């Protein structure tokens, strides 16, 4: 994790964790794009404030007008609050974690693209990517069950954001959901 700069872990993990949660990368056309990964605090393992971590990271964006934030959080209210907190200062706040895409993609007032949860890429004939029989057994019996990844029925889910490279303002966000062949 320390040797691969493209691999990001949550920026607001407790200090001393290996890796980084922020990077500036260059597109094939030479456009710098800053990317940060944050983890929420509500119903998640302990982490520092994602709000203050994001504020500090924005000072390190350099020449990157485009800034994409992957906010891995459990509750919709915390994701929405992050979108509003960063509105006009980043290009996009893309929520992740629940594995279920939300239908609230929008451009916020300050020009930030936002979606509460982009969904997941993985097997959808499952319970959040795990074999449904094992998950159902755990819910029905209350007994511990070892989860195993499901297979088949894979769907690619993402968000496509159109933005101005000079200003970093988003002009469009679109949910994408594409079934992949087995």
In sequence order, the 6+-apart residues with CB closer than 8 A to the CB of 56 are none
CB 43 within 8 A of CB 78: no
Of 1-5, 101-105, 113-117, 118-122, where does mean pLDDT reach its minimum?
1-5
CB 90 within 8 A of CB 61: no
Q: What is the mean pLDDT of residues 53-79?
A: 96
pLDDT band at 160 (very low <50, low <70, confident <90, very high): very high
Q: Report the C-alpha gap between 116 and 114 in whole angstroms.
A: 7
Q: What is the pLDDT of residues 128-145, one digit of tens each?
A: 899 999 999 999 999 998
What is the distance of C-alpha 122 from the center of its chain?
15
> What six digits make up the tokens of 42?
């509500």
- CA torsion sign for 73, 77, 83, 85 is negative
CA dihedral 43, 45, 46, 47 (to 10 degrees): -100
pLDDT over threshold 90, residue 15: no
pLDDT over threshold 90, residue 2: no
pLDDT over threshold 90, residue 182: no
CB 92 within 8 A of CB 70: no
pLDDT band at 112 (very low <50, low <70, confident <90, very high): very high
Summarize the chain as % helix, strand, coil (round to 5): 15, 30, 50
CB 68 within 8 A of CB 94: yes
Q: Is 131 left (phi over 0), alpha (psi -120 to 50) or beta?
A: beta
Q: Report the C-alpha gap between 25 and 19 in whole angstroms.
A: 16
pLDDT of residue 76: 96
């Amino acid at each position: 994790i320390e040797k691969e700069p493209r691999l990001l872990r949550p920026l607001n993990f407790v200090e001393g964790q290996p890796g980084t949660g922020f990077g500036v990368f260059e597109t094939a056309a030479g456009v710098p794009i800053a990317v940060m990964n944050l983890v929420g605090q509500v119903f998640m393992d302990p982490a520092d404030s994602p709000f203050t971590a994001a504020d500090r990271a924005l000072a390190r964006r350099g020449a990157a007008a485009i800034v994409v934030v992957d906010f891995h959080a459990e509750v919709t209210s915390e994701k929405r609050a992050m979108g509003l907190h960063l509105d006009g200062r980043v290009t996009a706040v893309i929520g992740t974690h629940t594995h279920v895409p939300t239908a609230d993609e929008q451009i916020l007032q300050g020009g930030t693209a936002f979606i509460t949860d982009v969904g997941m890429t993985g097997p959808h004939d499952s319970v959040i990517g795990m074999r449904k029989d094992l998950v159902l057994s755990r819910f029905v019996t209350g007994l511990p069950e070892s989860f195993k990844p499901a297979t088949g029925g894979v769907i690619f889910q993402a968000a496509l954001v159109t933005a101005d490279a000079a200003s970093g303002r988003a002009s469009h966000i679109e949910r994408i959901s594409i079934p992949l062949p087995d």
